[in-house]
Structure 1
Amino acid sequence: MASETETSGSPAPQVSTGFNPVLINSVTYLGTIVVYLLAVYLRDFPEVPFPVVGCLLASDGGFSEWTSAGYVLMALWCFHFMRRFVEVLFVHEYKRKMSCVESFGAPTYYWVFGFWVGLSLRPDLGYVNTYLPLFVIGSMVFLVGEVGNGVSHLQLRNLRSSKNNHLLYQTKSQHVVPHGLMFELVSCPHYFFEIISWLGFSLATWALSVIVFLGATVVTLCFYGYQKHKAYRAEFDGAEGRELYPPNRKALIPFVF
């Protein structure tokens, strides 16, 4: 889930006091990897009932015995949050501090889910791999989401670079209308692809923890995506020489929402 302290060309609420967003987000994303690994490798963990852990759509043999599937899922999880960590350091640009609620809420949210997901995918606690086609399709969908999410973040970064600003309409607030690739269809493609990533992970795992995480991600990003979409349309209203925001562009889901 994208941090709301990232600048993306649209207005963002200003917070004059708070915590350094680079520090908070870096610790959050690295910590999410750590708690996942702790949940996977923590020995002698008490028995946890199904469906809190385990697979909701388990295979009845064959692929379910392939123990390396857990390492693939671990690699996908770690790749996502390591990518986010790298983006915090080298891609995102923060123009406001994080409030206390954000600073403590974000790591709590991610670390709780990270531990639950890692725990629920442990074979020794009852997890059995889902069907091979779903595992493969889900993993591929996840990677598509990762590529799309990363490319969208790089597009936003390029919009903010001074060498490209002369090519775009720019208001006195220094905000610009994003264009190109998925930005032609939705205001927040980085949110859209974030959902795609966790949809793929859900298809690959069929674990309750991942499905709940996907649901929470959808609800949160739909809310933030709609708010950003409204902010774009309010600022770029076509009045007094301002650019008119593309009227057919949706907030988050192409052609739908």
Structure 2
Amino acid sequence: PRLLAKGNAAAIPVEMVASPIPYEAYTDEAEAIAFYVLNGVGGVLAVISFVVQSRDSAPYGRHYAAEKAWGPQIPQRLGHILSDFPTGFVLFLLVFLLSRSLPKEAPNIVLAACWLAHYLHRGLIHPLVTSYSDKCTPLGITLGGMFPNTLFSFLNAWFLASADYEDVYVADPRFIIGLVVFVVGFVVNRWADWKMKRLRDAQRAKAADAFTAGGPTTDNVVDAKQKAEDQRQMARRKHYVIPHGGLYELIACPNYFGEMTEWLGFAVACWSLPGLFWWLFCCSTFVPRAQDNLRWYRTTFGDDYPGERRALIPFLF
């Protein structure tokens, strides 16, 4: 919108700040109904995710247990890629490019690039370079990740392809602050993953000789399942380490904190329902998972683990 400032000379256009709702989208009634229904599904999904994961940890990573496995096992790297990359990157890109004929303006392109940058790393680069504690993961974990990723990737791509942002929105505080917060979270998330990988690789190399030379054995265990579980626990003790440095001195899960910060910035920059519900869904996973991880660290390492560390938010939670 423009304000015409009139004086003795000709009227001079003066740009105003963006409106409270800085875009137009879904003027068709059927599309508007579908949009709000899908957002409602996303909100319900966030509530369900929080309740379920607060009651019991999803059985993957350090919380894996054979008796709670969700379906048959598949390679961990494959499961991670299938869960995130086809939905978060490929589906998002196709919907963003093909679902509307509107010209893509700067805010739409920048916000879509933020999403794609995250999922290029999270869905492809990270699984290929990280070191996993378990070689396999339950198929149910992969499928459980694909459904919300599909829903929210579609919703956010559809919105960014449909929203006609005002020209002045690129200078709006919501857009600028949101992008800054997203970048900060992105850097924190990448740093936390890199730091943990280095620590695990060093710990695994250091502990390999000790376990090979005379570490605990399970040869006297008759039950095959118990033997396999004992071997898995030995591998975890060899694989996991108490992290130190940076945010790891304050919280147990800087990687979750970084990603939660990313999506908060994205939601603010978009100023949209899909961005908000996606952030809430991420919180519904990160909050209970971070609590479980902190309890696991304290149980596994006992008094060696710093008691003042929080789970997810420095000094607060």
TM band (smaller chain): 0.7 to 0.9
* Structure 2 residue 312 is matched with structure 1 residue 252: yes
> Would the alpha carbon gap of residues 20 and 165 (structure 1) be closer, same or farther in structure 2, given more than 3 Å must change?
closer
Please list the CA deviations of residues 45-93 of structure 1 after superposition, one character each: whole Å capped at 9, or x if unmatched.
Answer: 9xxxxxxxxxxxxxxxxxxx99122111111111000111201101242
Give 1:42 deviation, angstroms: 2.7
Calculate the TM-score normalised by the size of structure 2: 0.64
Indicate yes or no: 2:125 matched with 1:74.
Answer: no
Indicate the RMSD between aligned Cα atoms, in angstroms.
2.7
Q: Which has the higher contact order (CA 8 A, sep 6+)?
A: 1
Correspondence for 1:143:
183
Q: Which amino acid aligns with 2:117?
A: F
Q: Which amino acid aligns with 1:205?
A: C
What does 1:60-99 correspond to in 2, within 5 Å? Answer: 67-84=105-122, 85-99=124-138
| Aligned residue number for residue 13 of structure 1 | 64
Contact kept? 2:79, 2:139, Cα under 8 Å: no
1:19 is paired with a residue of what secondary structure?
strand
Alpha-carbon distance in structure 1 between the residues aligned to 2:137 and 2:195: 23
Structure 1 CA distance for aligned equivalents of residues 289 and 245 of structure 2: 21
Distance 1:157 1:5, change over 3 A: farther
**Long gaps (5+) in structure 1:** 46-64, 239-243
Aligned match for 2:96, one of 40, 49, 52: 40
Q: Please report how far the alpha carbon of residue 137 of structure 1 lies from its aligned counterpart in structure 2 after TM superposition.
A: 1.3
Length-normalised TM-score, structure 1: 0.78
8 Å Cα contact 1:191-1:221 kept in structure 2? yes
User: How far apart are residue 33 of structure 1 and its match?
Assistant: 1.1
Q: State how many pairs are aligned.
A: 223
Q: Post-superposition, which runs of at least 4 consecutive aligned residues in structure 1 deviate over 3 A?
A: 4-7, 14-17, 162-167
Secondary structure of the residue aligned to 1:237 is: helix
Are the aligned partners of 2:76 and 2:134 in contact in 1 as well (CA < 8 Å)? no
Match of 1:49 in 2: none
Check the 8 A contact 1:159/1:165 in 2, yes or no: no
CA distance in 1, matches of 2:163, 2:104: 14
Deviation at residue 165 of structure 1 after TM alignment: 6.5
Q: Is the 8 A contact 2:131 2:201 kept in 1?
A: no
AA aligned to 1:153 is: D
Work out the CA distance in 1 between the residues paired with 2:190 and 2:246. Answer: 13
The alignment status of 1:226 with 2:288, answered yes or no, reads no
The corresponding residue for 2:142 is 103
What amino acid is aligned across from residue 64 of structure 2 in structure 1? P
Whether the aligned pair in 2 keeps the contact of 1:6 and 1:93 (CA below 8 Å) is no
CA contact 1:21–1:94 (8 Å) conserved in 2? no
Between structures 1 and 2, the one with greater helix share: 2
**Deviations, residues 195-222 of structure 1 (Å, cap 9, x unaligned):** 0000110111011011001001011100
Q: Distance in 2 between matches of 1:21 and 1:94?
A: 9
Aligned ranges for residues 71-220 of structure 1 at < 5 Å?
71-84=109-122, 85-122=124-161, 125-128=162-165, 130=169, 132-162=172-202, 173-174=237-238, 175-220=240-285
